[in-house]
Structure 1
Amino acid sequence: MDLGCNRSGKPKLTATIRRADSIKKGCPFMLKGRFDRVGNFWKLQVVNETHNHEPFVFKEGHAYLRRMFDEEVDMVARLHMGGLKTQRIVSLLCKWFPGACVIDKDIYNLIEKLKKEIIVGDTPMQVHVFEFDLL
């Protein structure tokens, strides 16, 4: 198993409508892990221990670290249905779940995802009534 830095690899150079920066910087850091079945243990070999970038300062910049667990998702759904604003939901999540690292955009995205899961199969008029009820 090869383990590398999340900044290893080259950024995609495909042209898009909206150009977003990539976190890929071609970082050479690499570890190789091999499982020894006889001894039932892992052996870790350092292939390249150097990075070509500074360590991250703010964990909010990494989407993987901002992922929400089921309990947090349920809490966001209940708070949103209760009429709380996004910024208040973020502050409550950080208070109730000290390890949580979320930003406003994560909450907006989750609410939209939850709405789509609820309204699948509804007519446009039913969807409009549902959204009105949420406000």
Structure 2
Amino acid sequence: TGKRERSNKLIFGCDRGGKHKRTDSGTQSASKKCGCPFKIRSTPTNDESGWKIDVKCGLHNHGLPDRLEGHSFIGRLTTDEKQHVADLIKRHVPHRHILLSLQDRDPENVTRITQVYKHKSVIQKEIRGPRSEIQHLFKLIEDAGYVY
């Protein structure tokens, strides 16, 4: 009747590792997965003064990408870019022009248009507060003095 505990460990793997999970819908979809075996496991030392690194497989079965486009961490908006996007959204600039503006400011920027849409959603939620979209609509109608 031993007690099983979760061990504190970190496993680092390649984002192209594993296999593509097929959907039941039958539609074709692309995947960047190629079964890359790269894996590093890290566990705390017994005296908890550091970490023990164990390289399970240090090789990749694919080359380096030409660009980091599509990686969510690299494509994140910086605080300066978030402010720039917020200013352009307030001026009702189309999303594709906002993206072009970001790329003009920094040619190495790999932000995708989905990040612009997501940031707009965050801004709208901040404006709306705890109200639902319908409640916010009624508040705007009331504030503008419309009769309904």
Across the two proteins, how many residue pairs are aligned to each other? 129
- Looking at structure 1, the residues matched to 78 and 26 of structure 2 have their Cα atoms a distance apart, in angstroms, of 32
Q: 2:102 aligns with which of 79, 93, 96?
A: 93
Give SS of 2:69's match.
helix
Alpha-carbon distance, 1:29 to partner: 0.5
Structure 2 residue identity aligned to 1:122: E
Q: Give me the whole-angstrom Cα distance separating, in 2, the residues matched to 1:108 and 1:93.
A: 14
Cα deviation 1:1-21 (Å, max 9, x = unaligned): 211101111111122375431
Work out which of the residue numbers 35, 58, 64 in structure 1 matches 2:67.
58
Q: In the TM superposition, what are the counterparts of 1:8-19 in structure 2 within 5 Å?
A: 8-16=17-25, 19=28
SS of structure 1 residue aligned to 2:87: helix
Indicate how the Cα distance of structure 1 residues 58 and 72 shifts in structure 2: closer, same or farther if over 3 A, else same.
same
Structure 2, unmatched stretches of 5+, are 1-9, 142-148
More helix per residue: 1
- In structure 1, the residue corresponding to 2:82 is in which secondary structure? helix
For 1:19 and 1:44, the matched residues in 2 are separated by 39
Contact 1:68 1:100 in 2 (8 A): no
Matched, 1:126 2:137: yes
1:113 Cα deviation from its structure 2 partner: 5.3
Q: TM-score, normalised by structure 1?
A: 0.69
Is 1:34 aligned with 2:24? no
Q: CA deviation at 1:27?
A: 0.9
Give 1:98 shift: 7.7
Any gaps of 5 or more consecutive residues in structure 1? 131-135
CA contact (8 A) 1:2 1:30 kept: yes
Q: Distance in 2 between matches of 1:85 and 1:122?
A: 22
Cα distance in 2 for partners of 1:19, 1:69 equals 34
TM normalised by structure 2 equals: 0.64
By how many angstroms is 1:105 displaced? 3.5
The CA distance in 1 between the partners of 2:50 and 2:135, in whole Å, is: 57
Cα deviation digits, residues 66-108 of structure 1 (max 9, x gap): 1224553343122211233334422443465787431234323
- Output the CA distance in 2 between the equivalents of 1:17 and 1:54: 30
